[in-house]
Homo-oligomer: A and B are copies of this chain.
Amino acid sequence: MSAAPRRSFLPTTSYVVLGLLSFGRDLTGYELERWADFGMRFFFTTPAMSQIYRELARLEDLGLVRGRSSGGERTRRAYRLTARGRAELRRWLDEAPVDPPVLKHSVVLRLFFGHLTSPERMRVVLEEHRRWAEGMLAALDEVRAELGDEPTWTHARVVAGWGERFYGGEAAAAAEAAARLEQHDGRGVSAGGRDRRDRRV
């Protein structure tokens, strides 16, 4: 008796591909991967090449993209969005439930289980993470520079703003966590007295 027809949606990765093609340029599987890795890796894991090719095959079956070969049958096949593809992408944007980001943060996981390893190792892990985040921040700056101020990239610039906050946050959080642990370890090790809090259980 439900009133909703509830057509379902494709996996999000499909919309990554459709979306990249929505900027108007025809792209090969290879280029798709380069673009995804250039601009989207900041907020969405880049799928493996083989996955992209399979995705393209599926989307073509569904009539959402059309591929055209050039330079012989195998050498190069560039895809463009069909009208139905554009409509499907729009349907997703307009109607798909806004589900929360998927996060698998193995660094924080390690931190959570920090009682099982040494403070030194924990410091190394956090420092490595901090450096990674700084690196991403730098890469993001480069991307942003390339965006210029063309209106095509209006939303991309806003996304870059999100990214700066996110990666800056990760770097700061790693530093803060390290500082907090250091403080805690220091207290535990150096002064025998003065801190009864640490002895219970």
Give the residues in chain B near A112, CB-CB below 8 Å. Answer: 19, 39-40, 43, 155-156, 159
Interface residue A8 (Cβ < 8 Å from any Cβ of B): no
Q: Does A15 contact B (CB under 8 A)?
A: yes
**Structural contact, B156 and A165, CB atoms closer than 8 A:** no
Contact of A101 with B93 in the complex, beta carbons under 8 Å: no
Distance between A182 CB and nearest chain B CB, rounded to angstroms: 11
Q: How large is the interface on A (under 10, 10 to 19, 20 to 34, 35 or more residues)?
A: 35 or more
Number of this chain's copies in the complex:
2
A2 within 8 A of partner (CB): no
- CB-based contact A108/B181 at 8 Å: no
Please tell me if A34 contacts chain B, counting CB pairs below 8 Å.
no
- Known contacts A114-B155, A150-B201; is A162 also within 8 Å of B98 by CB? no
B-contact bits for A80-103, CB 8 A (1 contact / 0 none): 000000110110011000111111
A139 proximal to B (CB < 8 A): no
Closest B residue by C-beta to A18: B113
Stretch at the interface among A53-61, A71-79, A171-179: A171-179
| B155 close to A22 (CB less than 8 A) | no
Question: Does A44 contact B105, Cβ atoms closer than 8 Å?
Answer: yes
Interface stretch (choices A25-33, A62-70, A124-132): A124-132
**20 A-B residue pairings within 8 Å (CB atoms):** A22-B115, A43-B103, A43-B105, A44-B105, A44-B109, A45-B102, A100-B107, A101-B104, A101-B105, A102-B102, A102-B103, A111-B162, A112-B159, A113-B155, A115-B152, A158-B181, A159-B177, A161-B177, A161-B180, A165-B169
